[in-house]
Each structure stands twice: as structure tokens, then as C-alpha cells.
Amino acid sequence: MTSLFDPTDAGDLHLSNRIVMAPLTRNRSPKAVPNTLNTTYYEQRASAGLLITEGTAITQQGQGYADVPGLYTPEALAGWKHVTDAVHKAGGKIVVQMWHVGRVSHTSLQPNGGQPVAPSAITAQSKTYIMNPDGTGAFAPTSEPRALETAEIAGIVEDYRKAARAAIEAGFDGVEIHAANGYLLDQFLRSGSNKRTDSYGGSIENRARFLFEVVAAITAEIGAGRTAIRLSPVTPANDVFDPEPQPLFEHVVAGLPDDLSYVHIIEGATGGPRDYLQGDIPFDYAALKAAYRDKGGKAAWMVNNGYDRQMAIEAVESGNADLVAFGKLFISNPDLVGRLRADAPLNAPDQATFYGGGAKGYTDYPAQPKVA
């Protein structure tokens, strides 16, 4: 029987176990440049089968929060190279989550103080994280976006392609396309945020077009086996909604390449109820997976949201998942793999230190004492 602790392959990536560190925004990279503290943080967690970085903006336009890293300056890429070198030296594998936040941003974060961009000019009833003049961070309402012109979309597809190449050159083992949680690609998918009347709006096929163009550009650039995608079919994060998520996301997974590295699915509301509904009926995650497998999809299937040790073990042993991602537990347990393997007690995370700050609540959680 396959175990959570067994090695596996995810496309071109050989993983030492099936435990994945989920992407976690921590707001500790001033000027969008990874630093030595970030290097320590990821290195400490390198026993995971796979590390997925925090959301990393592909361009300044894609930036939505203060002090999150980017992939678009030489300084940021040099900072990431230190991170990837340290993780590899520690025996780990790491992919970068490629992020364009779309409308979930603030004019203070955008080039020349411009408006954030979106499929349609609908403000997200959400908040972002900005820096005050005195250097302290604070949550603030998102700014009113402008609708992208049809002619602009190809340029953003090209931004994704360039960022994927930059990621590989910075030493990442692959990339995860962030198409979840109400950010730009997800905004295009959902009818609640996409009111376009061109070839990128209206029907499910049109709303998925932008995502498929991004996937095609990245896989052509770095190979499908180093490319993954994250989806969140029913999450209400960042004010996104679609009354018929089942046919929408079955269309999405059926249109993905068969040989991606992995497909990462957030089950339920991100960080909230696993049984959250959008529309009138519960979402069928088994049918979603079948829609991908039945058309020949071979990527590893990753599940996420509220998994504990027993749930993760059962998900893998039953064949419902190939990989299980853990978020908050990896914040407070850098040695989570060892603790889960030994069924050892877990450190509780300090929520007050999740966003912004320094080493406290970031790199100072204790590892499990070693037995002599």
C-alpha cells in the first residue's frame, strides 16, 4: 500500500515523500527581494517532499501586497538563487508559485500608482497589505481596478513565460501557476468577476481561454513536467463567485496538458470550511479528478485545506491523492515531516506573526528534540 511517506514522481520532479509545504504569504521580503531570513525559512523546511514558495509576483503589475517577493528584477532573482541553492544543499525540492493578483491590489503597489487590472472593472470586496509612511504594515481595501483591453492580454501571457524562464534560471525545480483564490486567472474563470463581452468572457470556454494560453506559454518554455497549477473551485477568497463551479472546473482540468507535474486542488473555502458551497449543490472533487484522469491526465494529484495526519494518510492510501499540502502546520513545525512520521506533538502557530515582521514566528519555531 502506498504511504504518505513514500517517494514519488510529480512530472519531472522526484520527491522523497508525499508531504508538501503549501504556498504561504509571509510578507518578509522588502522591495520584493528574497533575503537571508527567507533563505533560512525555506532551508529549515527542506525535508518536505516539495516546497512551494509563497506567491511570487511575475511583474510589478502582478504585485498585490507589500513585502512579498517577485520574479522580475535581477536582485529578486539573485535572492531566490540563494534560496534554491540552500534548499537543494539540504536535499529538498522547491517550485515557485507564479502570481498575478489582478484586482487584489492597491494603487500604492502598482507601477506609477496606476489602477490594478482585472477582467472587468469590478472592485474586489477584499483587503490587501500595504506599508504606511512610518514603515509599519496595515491591511487596506483594494483599489478600484480597470478592465484589461483585449490587446493587453497577450502581453501578460508573455510576462508569465518570461517569469517561468527566470524561475528555472534562478534554480527552481519547477513552477506552480497560481490560478486560485480570486487572483487574476481565477478572476477570469469566474462569472462573478468576469463580465467581458470579447473572446475572454461569457461562455466557460471563453473564460478559460486566458488560463489555457498561460499554461501553453509556460509549458512550451520550460516543459510540462516542470509546470503545475493550483485551482480552488469553490473558494470565496477575494470576492470571487461562480454559481456553476462543477462544469467550469471540469472544463479547466480536461483542458490541461496530460503531463503536467501536478494539479493542486484547494478543497472547500481556502483556510475555512471544507464543505463550503458555491452554487446549490456540493462540489464533487472525485468527479473533478476523474475529468482529468479520464482524458489521459497523468499529473500527480495534490489536495489541500485542513488536512491533519490521519486525513493525509487516508487520502494517499485510498488513492484519492498522490500528494498532500500542509500550510499553517509548516509555519510552526519546520520539521513537520519527521513529526508526522513519528506521530509526535506539533507546535501551535502564532497567528499574530503570520504577516510581516522578522524572525519571531518565522524561523524561531523549535525543531523536535533529537533522541540520543
Active centre residues (catalytic): 183
**Residue 131: closest CA among 234, 30, 257:** 30
DSSP strand E in the chain: where?
8-10, 13-15, 19-21, 50-57, 94-99, 117-118, 127-131, 137-141, 146-147, 174-178, 227-231, 262-266, 300-304, 323-326
> What's the angle, vertex CA 218, arms to CA 115 and CA 212, rounded to 5?
75
In whole angstroms, how large is the CA radius of gyration of the chain?
Answer: 19
Q: Would you call 166 helix, strand, or coil by DSSP? A: helix
- Strands 19-21 and 50-57, by their bridges, are parallel
Cα torsion angle, 293, 298, 304, 310, sign: positive
Packed helices 74-89 and 36-44: angle between N→C axes, nearest 10 degrees: 30
Give the cell for residue 144.
478600484
Q: In sequence order, what are the residues at sequence separation of 6 or more whose Cβ sits closer than 8 angstroms to the Cβ of residue 246?
A: 233, 279, 281, 283, 284, 287, 288
Rounded-to-integer distance, Cα 181 and Cα 213, Å: 19
Rounded-to-integer distance, Cα 356 and Cα 66, Å: 9
Q: In sequence order, what are the residues at sequence separation of 6 or more whose Cβ sits closer than 8 angstroms to the Cβ of residue 95?
A: 13, 50, 51, 52, 53, 172, 173, 174, 175, 176, 226, 228, 261
Residue pair 7/14 in contact by the 8 Å Cβ criterion: yes
